[in-house]
Amino acid sequence: MENKFRAGVVQFDVECGRIEANLEKISGYLETLASEKVSLVVLPEMFSCSFDNENLKGHSKSTQKIIEKLSYFALDYRMAIAGTLPEQEEGLIFNTMVFIDTDGKIKGKYRKLHLFRLTGEHLYYTAGNKIVTVDSTLGRIGLMTCYDLRFPELARSLFLNGAQLIVISAQWPEHRKEHWEALVRARAIENQLFMVCSNRTGTEAGLAFPGLSMIADPMGKVIAHAGNTDSCAFAEINPDAVKDMRTLIPCITDRRVEVYG
């Protein structure tokens, strides 16, 4: 990252199986954030259809058209867009984050590495096997999804791959909301980078979702917060904050990899 820019997060009640309704909500938020000159927007996990797991193969047939629509918005608004939706390949379904750059082109796809067994994700989805950073027009950005947040090894790998900012799409429930904020801030602090994290609102399958989408800076300070209703928020991303923090406390230099094993 070389220049300052604005990053935003979107949160809404992702309606299970209702692709058009969800896309209509998203288009409204993108327009709002574009009016604020936001250059990067992160959407919730499975933003197109939520975890409508029994119908994933059908929903995945719409994925390419959805990506094309978002690419149009990205190019029109000069805005990078990231979020996850179902992707099918050779009969397997993946929870895939797509990163569309400000030129409307796909710069990277990341398949969720850590599937959440507590809600049976492993029964419907195939786990990814690659760590992904993208070299975007905004800088080098790492990609993560929801449960990945609990695995510091992944965020550290993105840091070591040169990421100065990590985006996260999530469906993180109300009753673990304390973990959400603590982990977002911890990943920012320990890797000295920005975290831009979107979480949904609403209820589904007996679970309530609090929103609480946020952006944390390399000090771990929350610099944007979307509250607990359908909304969006944004903050300025200053690459000097990453550089200054990594110079002040040079964790990458002081690591003792020969001891860690």
Active site residue 112: yes
Kindly state the DSSP code that residue 119 receives in the 8-state scheme: G
For 76, other C-beta atoms within 10 Å of its C-beta total 12
Q: Please identify which of the residues 45, 49, 107, 121 carries the catalytic annotation.
A: 45
Q: Please identify which of the residues 87, 107, 121, 146 carries the catalytic annotation.
A: 146
Detail the DSSP E strand segments found in 12-164: 40-42, 80-89, 92-100, 106-111, 133-136, 139-145
Give the integer Cα–Cα distance in Å for 169 and 261.
31
Q: Which two tokens stand for residue 54?
A: 């029994």
Give the integer Cα–Cα distance in Å for 236 and 252.
25
Active site residue 45: yes
Q: Please identify which of the residues 87, 109, 112, 197 carries the catalytic annotation.
A: 112
Cβ atoms 69, 61 nearer than 8 A: no
Q: Return the active site residues.
A: 45, 112, 146
